[in-house]
Chain A
Amino acid sequence: MPAYAHPDVLVSTDWVAEHLSDPGVRIVESDEDRALYTQGHIPGAVEIDWAVDLQNQVERDYIDRAAFERLCAERGISNDTTVVFYGDKNNWWACYAFWVFKLYGHKDCRIMNGGRKRWELDGRPWSNERVSVPHAHYTAQEQDASIRALRDEVLKHQKAGKQLLDVRSPEEYRGERMHMPDYPNEGAVRGGHIPGALNVPWPMNCNDDGTFKTAKELEKLYVKDLKMKRRSPTIAYCRIGERSSLTWFVLTYLLGFGNVKNYDGSWLEWGNCVRVPIVKGAEPGGPAAASPAPVMHA
């Protein structure tokens, strides 16, 4: 049976339980619902919240390098700390935090396979005690452009017909779901997908207990069925770049794809851009489905 390309980045709940008081390890919870951490977390785990801690509150961007260094220092994370992320929703936010840590060059990041759900199913204890950790010193790298795609690059990538993955639900991909009742400010003014993007909804990466599917199952899905090439540059996106960071993690670390970027602007940016190509419906479309050339008026 084929193994994951980088099996070291996944740790089991057993491993975490054995390393709770290891000073070289910091356990970090990242959730969709922040109050889950407050309600009960793995004993000794600290929280890093995607919205409040990792995002710049003024510009639509991540916190800058200095803020990332402060965040790590406050959470007791130094450059040589093994940081293990876990959370709710199949570790989707844990993968997002993992990705931001990689963006700033943190060396040893891991994911606790199965996240909160597996910990709960294993009958392990939760703690609601406040956690205080010793302050650390941290020096971050410049952002790693090799794992983050910005809009102009996505446009070029799309026009060149390179591998694109849309990991949203089929309804979002087809452009049917966008504006919901009582929900005036959903975000995007257009629905559909980036031409050429294949649709692999992110839950397809995971089992019911929150763990990742086996290397064999993932390989069948992406490589055999969808004919995706490991060495071709790939960009993954969703609505705001969270679900696609899980797919980025799967392709990069579990399947060994060599060049995967997360487009964190995702549909919330693309669906609002003026004159970018969009395809509606179930078919991926292709680079030819570009927007028409502007009409010149005399």
Chain B
Amino acid sequence: MESIQARLGTLTAEFADLDAREKLELLVDFANGLPPLPPEFEARKAVEDRRVHECQTPVFLWTEVDGGIARLVAEVAPEAPTVKGFVAILAEAINGRPAVDVAALSDDMLERMGLADVLGILRTRGLRAIVARVKRGFAEKTAGA
């Protein structure tokens, strides 16, 4: 099975050769592909503090581990397609793979995708916060495993 890092590389390779407008269009495609929040998480949303407070728009993340396998579940407000697309890419790279491997996720994926130039420095901070949050979430679940 492809590692998380390799899978992420495959998913994001396409970005490298695109111009700014095409990058944003591809990101919007990913955003549109993020599945709606499963019903069982809808109920949990009300009682668990899963909101990413660093993001100005509502973003809720769950880092679930079942039998050592990672599952990133997310809900992102429709008014934030950049964050939504980014989270969709992360989920596609992570889901179904060993949770312990999430730690190996590189922090420079935004640079690799060439998104830092398209979004500007301040905006990419929020996205970095999401990567950090996801890595920490899985690290806590797999600690001592």
Q: Which residues of A contact B81 (CB under 8 A)?
A: 33, 35-36, 38-39
The number of residues on chain A lying at the interface, defined by a beta carbon within 8 Å of a beta carbon of chain B, is: 22
Say whether A55 contacts B120, CB under 8 Å.
yes
Q: Which residues of B contact A152 (CB under 8 A)?
A: none
B111 to chain A, nearest CB (A): 15
Q: Scoring A residues 11 to 35 as 1 if CB is less than 8 Å from chain B, else 0, what string do you get?
A: 0000000000000000000001111
In the complex, the chain A residue whose C-beta lies closest to that of B84 is: A35
Q: Is A52 an interface residue (CB 8 A)?
A: yes
Q: Is A130 an interface residue (CB 8 A)?
A: yes
**Interface members, chain A 144-198 (any B CB < 8 Å):** 180-183, 185-186
Q: Which residues of B contact A33 (CB under 8 A)?
A: 57, 79-83
Q: Which residues of B contact A88 (CB under 8 A)?
A: 79
In the complex, the chain B residue whose C-beta lies closest to that of A182 is: B132
CA distance A36 to B134 in the complex (A): 24
Q: Is A228 an interface residue (CB 8 A)?
A: no
Say whether B24 contacts A182, CB under 8 Å.
no
Q: Scoring B residues 16 to 49 as 1 if CB is less than 8 Å from chain A, else 0, what string do you get?
A: 0000110011011001000000000000000000
Say whether B125 contacts A35, CB under 8 Å.
no
Say whether B121 contacts A51, CB under 8 Å.
yes
Q: Which residues of B contact A136 (CB under 8 A)?
A: none
Q: Scoring B residues 122 to 145 as 1 if CB is less than 8 Å from chain A, else 0, what string do you get?
A: 110100010011001000000000
Say whether B120 contacts A51, CB under 8 Å.
yes
**Interface members, chain A 19-70 (any B CB < 8 Å):** 32-39, 49-52, 55
- Sorting the interface of chain B by its residue count into under 10, 10 to 19, 20 to 34 or 35 or more gives 20 to 34
Q: Which of A36, A51, A130, A183 contacts B122 (CB 8 A)?
A: A51
Say whether B129 contacts A34, CB under 8 Å.
no
**Interface members, chain B 72-91 (any A CB < 8 Å):** 79-83, 85
CA distance A189 to B144 in the complex (A): 35
CA distance A80 to B42 in the complex (A): 52
Say whether B129 contacts A35, CB under 8 Å.
no
Q: Is A240 an interface residue (CB 8 A)?
A: yes
In the complex, the chain A residue whose C-beta lies closest to that of B53 is: A180
Q: Which of B27, B80, B117, B133 contacts A182 (CB 8 A)?
A: B133
Say whether B79 contacts A36, CB under 8 Å.
yes
Q: Is B108 an interface residue (CB 8 A)?
A: no
Q: Which residues of A contact B6 (CB under 8 A)?
A: none
Q: Is B119 an interface residue (CB 8 A)?
A: yes
Say whether B136 contacts A35, CB under 8 Å.
no
15 contacts between A and B (CB under 8 A): A33-B82, A34-B82, A35-B31, A38-B28, A39-B81, A51-B119, A51-B123, A52-B117, A52-B120, A88-B79, A130-B21, A180-B129, A181-B54, A183-B54, A185-B125
